[in-house]
Structure 1
């Protein structure tokens, strides 16, 4: 009887190692086609940074030892990446949420247009943006997300 229990316990341990051991590396593996290239200047020039996804960056003050907050002017999105840029840290849409309260906006001297400009931008795979000023977003990025598709 003890021998059977020992064999069952050993089998369970081996199965657990196989299941959890093979799943863990896959969960943390970066997708080589899920990335964004960020540039400090328009036309894909200036300082360059490649971020691999999936990743969520609540702020860009210390990215690989550099401050990228309010510095991004152009970008290229990888073939399996969806990139969301935010004007605020922590992925917040501060004024956009206030849009639901027009009296509050008015009391603060803000318009609906102001609220609409406080936004996020979403770029699909293989997008190239030579100048974020085309979206009124030049040097406004404070946080970002990279999601991997497919």
Structure 2
């Protein structure tokens, strides 16, 4: 019985070390898969900045020392990442002039939700957006969020 306890006593630190290494490796793998690369031109051309991990950029005037306000044209999204881009700074979803005129919106069949949907875009998990112009968002990004997914 003492021999078994001795073996368990000696194995406990090794087991704890293996458990810690497994958790650390998992965290590193998750971080490795959480990123977004933002490009100045379509088809991932021109200057770019890579955001690793979560970030809430309320404005893009000082990103890595440069003004990225209304410059983003294409995006690559990491496998475990959610990216939300906003047309306005500070993640605002403003109502445009048309939204201030409900009778006009009703006549055109436009809802307040339609207006809000035109103010932000959401991309998740390994998406490659070669041209934000396809979403009528060509160089309109003024704030963004990058979130890590499990």
TM-score in terms of structure 1 length = 0.68
Matched residue, 1:5: none
Instruction: Give the Cα–Cα distance (whole angstroms) in 2 for the partners of residues 119 and 90 of structure 1.
Output: 12
Could you tell me which runs of 5 or more consecutive residues in structure 1 were left unpaired when the two chains were aligned.
Answer: 1-28
- How do residues 87-106 of structure 1 correspond to structure 2 at under 5 angstroms? 87-95=87-95, 99=99, 102-103=101-102
Matched residue, 1:141: 141
Could you tell me which runs of 5 or more consecutive residues in structure 2 were left unpaired when the two chains were aligned.
Answer: 1-27
Instruction: Give the Cα–Cα distance (whole angstroms) in 2 for the partners of residues 44 and 55 of structure 1.
Output: 21
Report the CA distance between 1:31 and its aligned residue: 1.7
Give secondary structure in 1 for the equivalent of 2:95. Answer: helix
Deviations along 1:48-107, whole A, 9 cap, x unmatched?
A: 1101121100000000100001000011000111000000000000017x84x644x85x
Matched residue, 1:68: 68
TM-score in terms of structure 2 length = 0.68
Task: Indicate if the aligned counterparts of 1:77 and 1:128 stay in contact, CA closer than 8 A.
Answer: yes
Report the CA distance between 1:118 and its aligned residue: 4.0
Give secondary structure in 1 for the equivalent of 2:70. Answer: coil
